[in-house]
Structure formats: C-alpha cells, structure tokens
Amino acid sequence: MTVKSKEREVGILKTIGFNNSDIVRIFFYQGMIISFIGIFLGLILGFLIILNLGTLIDVIESLISRSLLDSYFINYFPYEIRINQVISISLAALLASIIFVFLAAKRITQLNPIEILRHE
C-alpha cells in the first residue's frame, strides 16, 4: 500500500469528519492484516518447500539435466526446522511490519484533504 495510492480515500475520510487517529487506526489495521496474511503464507510455503526438498531438487535436476548435489560432494540436502528460529524470524517480520505500517499511516494523515480532492 502506497501513500500516493490512498490519497483520495484519505481526502474523503477527512472531508466526512474522520480525525487523524481514526485514519491512522484504519490504515494500521489494514496493513497489519496484510502483514499477518503474508507471514502466514510465507510460513506455509516455507514448510512445504522444506518438507518436499528432495522432490524439488529432483525436479530441478531433471529440468537442467545436471546434478546439483554432486557439485558439493553430498548426496542429500541436510535441513533442520528449528522452531525458535521460525518464531524469531516471524516476530522480526511482524515488528518490521508494525513499524513501517505505522509510519506510513502516520504520514498519510499529514495530507491536506482540500488539495487532494481539488486535483481529482
């Protein structure tokens, strides 16, 4: 979500009486929902890739007609899912989302509704 793409909506919200804290809350919740969906889908996709890594390597090898693992003198790809790392990476992504969504939502309230709607 870019601030520029939401200017018209902010102008309309301010015109009908929403104050800055209401607008920050709306855009913050919207951004957090998108962030949670992204983190959730990323976790699912990551687990699916890890759990099917052998098959994935076989498919890639058949597509490029070359063995990937022979280059590294191994015959399997070792992996380990560490739940503490999964949690800490997810929390770091969530923290980054909170910070950047809040900054974007705060910035969007500084827009002048009259100027925004005049250019429409």
Q: Which residue has the tokens 């015959």?
A: 75
* Distance linking the first and last C-alpha atoms of the chain: 20
Whole-number average pLDDT of the chain: 84
- pTM for the predicted model, two decimal places: 0.73
- What would the pLDDT profile of 62-107 be if each residue is shown by its tens digit? 888 887 777 777 677 777 889 999 999 999 999 999 999 888 888 8
Please state, in angstroms and rounded to a whole number, the distance separating the CA atoms of residues 69 and 61: 9
Please state, in angstroms and rounded to a whole number, the distance separating the CA atoms of residues 108 and 120: 17
- Type of residue found at 101: V
Is residue 81 within 8 Å of 7, Cβ to Cβ? no
Burial call 15-49: b when 16+ CB within 10 Å, e when fewer: eeebeeeebbebbbeebbeebeeebeeeeeeeeee
pLDDT at 81: 85
Structure tokens at 58: 């076989």
- Taking residues 6-24, report their average pLDDT: 84
pLDDT at 116: 66
pLDDT at 1: 53
Position 8 confidence tier, pLDDT thresholds 50, 70, 90: confident
